[in-house]
Chain A
Amino acid sequence: MSGIDILGLAVLGLFLGLLIFYLGFGARWPAVFRPIRGYEVLGTSIERAVEAGERVHLSLGTGSIIGTNSAPAFAGLVMLKRIGRVTTLSDKPAVVTTGDGAMTILAQDSLRSTYASEGALDRFRSTSGRFLGPTPFSYFATLPTLLSTEDVSVNVLAGSFGAEGALAADAGERGQSFVLAGTDDVQSQALLYASASHPLIGEEIYAGGAYLNVGEAHRASLRVQDAVRIVVIGAILLGTLLRVIGVSW
């Protein structure tokens, strides 16, 4: 069909095919994922916070839902399902903050459906999903007050951040809380590596669902990433080899 990017559709088809394959047959060959320290400690830290009557904070960043940087916030929403399940019965339920109005609504809906599935809808408060500010620094300006006044002891940053991500992580560290932080931007990842005790590097932010046992689909999608990564590495090596021996196209 003229006017259609066939190669792009083929790549999409490859992703879809692999995802369906791993969803259907992945259980026959269980995968072992490498340990990621932040995710390993997150579960224990949340349980400790619930027992101590302290709060868990999840930040979905300052990215817009209609922008190209919405994907890490969606990965954060996946983590919210797991966090929501554990903190449903806590005296201080988890609080989710965003820098985008639409993302705030999604955070509230995700929390509401988690509360409903746990049979605790009467405990849900719409103010658990909060919009902190429309610009990156106005978002950060209100965050330290929230962390210090609401007894936050677990601080998860999973979304799109610029430089304000490092300030947010540092605010959590200064409050002696557990800080797990990941984003999609490479430069911000370097800042988070310096400022957070448990930084997530590269695609690790998208692995939250698989590591936190949100569902089989998340394990399958992580295996899809690894499979396509091998294909990409193979293509890069082949291209390099061909260029070295003088073949170009």
Chain B
Amino acid sequence: MTNTMHRQGTVESLQQDYIIFSTTAKGFNRVGSEQAQRRFIEIMMKHSPVNMGLTRHVNESGKKPSFIGELFRGRFSGRKYSDGQPTDETRQEWERVLLEGGDSGSLKSHAVFDSAEKLGGAIRDVNDAELGLCVNVNAIHADTDRLARESGIVRHTIEHSLGFHGRTNLLPSAEVLELSTMCGHGMVGFNLVRKMISMVNAGQISVDRAAELLTKPCACGVFNPARAARILTDVQQGTYAARSG
């Protein structure tokens, strides 16, 4: 999950972006961890994540929509998300994946939250459950430390980004970078982000649909559609520059 490092944006923007994931170490807590992983996912779902993923599940793969169905389905509005939040259908899909992923013994799973309160609740419940899994959080360090301490946890190991170096002139504008870096594998490319911003600004597509489309290439499911919707709205309304300082 190095793919959750280097998310860009102001502190205010990053306070809508909290990722928690569980994993296991070979030779320590991997064998027999399937039930613990399943329980971890159940706890995550209880706290209303905006995205989820499993190591052995590729989000959105294998879908073959019908030609006729595509003619009539909503093109302007989002379908999997509404106001950046997953729809009931999306949550049901996660539950299905949870069962399949749990059965196949997924080695890692994660959830993305759009508020510190949700993450705090998830940390508290995971700690109480004593799952024996390795649990990591990627967020603003001060928030992670505070929320962990509220559950009686002193952080164990820490990792910081020291920023981008080298040919940084190749990097795009701040809003494009902020959206793109929510997939650390680089699946949400700069050109796709630019296209979505352009279409939203031209009124050709809704913010929800654009956020949904930006979420789709992120195979792992660490992209935050709720935060993306807010950034796109800021850009559309011309308030992004003021908010990003």
Whether chains A and B associate is no
